[in-house]
Structure formats: structure tokens, C-alpha cells
Amino acid sequence: MNRAILCSAIEEVVSRYGYDFTLNDKSYYPATICRYPAAFMLQPEFLRQEGRKHGRITYNVSLRLARQGAKLTPKERSELLAEMEEQMMEMFISISQTQRVAVVDKLTIKPLSEAVDTHGAVAIEAKADIETIF
């Protein structure tokens, strides 16, 4: 139940920023990107549970954002990455304020060096441990 609530909350937050959200396995990335801007989240990884009837479940979440970047200069790509990084931080702040989310911890954000598509997309990835309450 916590997984579904967490995924739904992340989709809602990401969609507010205009990203087309997809939740799937890594093997389907980037084939599932249909339009830009795109957000791709891997299935959350269950890390640990504290408590039985009431407690906390911690998931490791990996979220990627991609935007069209084929005709951008290196400076424009750098500026776009900075903007996406700021959006990603804002998204995780919003997620941390979602009902039943206790803590967003160990947030890391980095530009993706691997090719997202054959059209020169600009991509960034964030990983975090998100503690949920049940």
C-alpha cells in the first residue's frame, strides 16, 4: 500500500511541472519516452521496515528527468541542467511534504552521461531514500 501511495504522490508532483511521467523497469528506459519533457521512475526498491501494525517503510527511489536538447549549445545545455536540478530539488521538497511521507533522505542529483535517446536529450537523475508511514 505504501508503494502505491508513494508512486502516486511522486507522479502528481512531477506532473505539476509538466513532465510526462512513466513508472517502469530500467530495461524499458528510454523506449518508454514518448514526448518531452519526460520523467521516468524506476520501481521503488524496498529497503527496510520498522514496526508491524504501525511503523515506517523506507524505499530507495530513482527518478530521471529528460528534456529535448538536440539543437542546444553547450552553454544552453548547462543552463538547462541547472534548471532541471533546481526543479528536481523542488520536487523532492514537495514529496517530503506529502501525507504519509516522513523523511526524504540521502538525496543525490547528477546529470546522466549515458545517451537517453538518439536525439540528444538532456537528462538528470535523482536518487533518495524515502521513509513512509503506515
Question: In the chain, which stretches have pLDDT less than 50?
Answer: none
Report which DSSP code applies to 114. S
What was the pLDDT predicted at 1? Answer: 72
What was the pLDDT predicted at 28? Answer: 64
What was the pLDDT predicted at 91? Answer: 98
Q: What is the DSSP string of 42-111?
A: EPPEEEEEE-SSS-EEEEEEEEEEEE--TT--HHHHHHHHHHHHHHHHHHHHHHHTSTTEEEEEEEEEEE
Domains parsed from the chain with CATH numbers: 2-133 (3.30.70)
User: Cis (ω within 30 of 0) for the bond into 37?
Assistant: yes
